[in-house]
Amino acid sequence: MVERANKPSALSATPGLAPQPTVTFSDDNSRVTAELPTGETVEILLYGATVISWKDSRGDEKLWLSEAAKLDGSKPVRGGIPLVFPVFGTAPNHASASKLPQHGFARNNRWEFLGKSTSESAAGKQAADLSVKLDFGLSSSAVSNSDLWPFKFNLIYSVTLNRENLTTSLVVTNDDDKPFECQVLMHTYLRVKDITQVKITGLDGASYTDKVDGASTKSQSGDVTITGETDRVYTPKGGPSDPVSVVESGKTPYTVTRDNLSNVVVWNPWTEKAEGMADFAPKDGYKNMLCIEPGAVGAWQTLEAGDAFEGAQTITIPY
């Protein structure tokens, strides 16, 4: 065969097709980044399958990530979207979850990248219609501290980037021959400009557990504002179909919708709590972040042998 002296190394695009989403890995294979042709990006750390960045087409970051966050796999990431499974917080009085670390082990084990898929594209298809989905997996056999929770399970986590939104979904499968109980939550840190100018709509009339006030049960009246340390587990009146919106200075930068996740945790550490967290930086960073965390944590989800639980959130931004 005759070698061409100047043969092309690769074709940059297939003739006739619209530009396609791209997926790249970091040099050390610790993270994966997806980018749409229109410029939106999402970056996921394989440690914890933690989304650590989500930017719009202008390059504006939508997630808050602590400047002191550990991204080397030495501890869970402070910021982005850490995954909580199989326990929310700690459960010292729960038979099977009492020995688990804070928020379980999904966020502090390395996940396997399972692959990508993109929306079907064809000649003339609008770039705004494109999307890319990244799938990650974690099984009980790959968990470093699996002896603390003696059940066989499989987790599939999907991160889907569209031009106007980001969707994260988690499927939990019980691979054991006996039932287990679990909790699931997506600990989303949204970036805001000024927390004192923020209100949260969609929670009026919802009952909530106020963890700052002795885990007392209360009812929300009107919109939620943040004026001090806030740690509340809400159960919106309309169920998972009720959207929750963040409104800042009269505009709505984020609307969060849920699928099969009945709770919404609202969290901001404020001054003293932020000071006490070594991996929270800058210390006044609480002014620029707000956690809106969809989850199923108000009660334990019971999965029989072979059953699966799926929950998802979609965060929509104005375009």
User: What's residue 4's pLDDT?
Assistant: 43
For CA atoms 202, 203, 205, 206, the dihedral sign is positive
Residue 187 backbone dihedrals phi, psi, to 5 degrees: -85, 70
Query: Which secondary structure element, helix H or strand E, spans residue 209, and what is its range?
Result: strand 207-210
Task: State how far the Cα of 21 lies from the Cα of 118, in Å rounded to an integer.
Answer: 7
Domain ranges of the chain: 22-117+129-316
Report pLDDT for 2: 43
* Overall CATH class of domain 22-117+129-316: mainly beta
Give the model's pLDDT for residue 1.
41
User: For 292-313, what is the mean pLDDT?
Assistant: 97
271/227 Cα distance (integer angstroms): 10
Average pLDDT on 151-172 reads 98
**What residues are annotated to the active site?**
187, 293
**CA dihedral of 252, 253, 254, 255, whole degrees rounded to 10:** 30
Percent of the chain with pLDDT over 70: 92
User: What is the four-CA torsion angle of 216, 220, 224, 228, rounded to 10 degrees?
Assistant: -20
Answer yes or no: are the C-beta atoms of 302 and 176 closer than 8 Å.
no
Q: What percent of the chain has pLDDT over 90?
A: 87
pLDDT at residue 247 greater than cutoff 60: yes
Q: Which of 162, 137, 130 is nearest to 315 (CA)?
A: 162
pLDDT (mean) for 125-152:
87
Is residue 107 marked as binding? yes
4 annotated among ligand-binding-site residues: no
The 10s digit of each residue's pLDDT in 1-51 is 444 444 444 444 555 567 899 999 999 999 999 999 999 999 999 999 999
Q: Residue 216: how many CB atoms within 10 A of its CB? A: 10
Average pLDDT for residues 115-140, to the nearest whole number? 80
Strand partners, 312: 169, 259
pLDDT mean over 92-121: 92
- Give per-residue pLDDT as tens, 254-271: 999 999 999 999 999 999
| Short-list 292, 318, 193, 189, CA closest to 249 | 193
Cis-peptide into 282, omega within 30 deg: yes
Segment 271-291, tens digit of pLDDT = 999 999 999 999 999 999 999
Residue 216 banded pLDDT, cuts 50, 70, 90: very high
pLDDT tens per residue across span 54-98: 999 999 999 999 999 999 999 999 999 999 999 999 999 999 999
Q: Which two tokens stand for residue 284?
A: 């006044």
Confidence of residue 123 (pLDDT cuts 50, 70, 90): very low
The Cα–Cα gap between 257 and 277 comes to 30
Q: What CA–CA distance (Å, rounded) separates 301 from 183? A: 6
| Among 5-14, 152-161, 196-205, 263-272, the least confident range | 5-14
Mean pLDDT over the full length of the chain:
92
Phi, psi of 196 (to 5 degrees): -75, -15
User: Sorting pLDDT into bands at 50, 70 and 90, what band is 239?
Assistant: confident
Please state the separation of Cα 41 from the chain's center in Å. 15
Determine the Cα–Cα distance for residues 296 and 217; give it in Å rounded to an integer.
Answer: 17
Q: What is the DSSP letter of 60?
A: -
**Which pLDDT belongs to residue 23?**
97
In this prediction, residue 16 carries a pLDDT of: 58
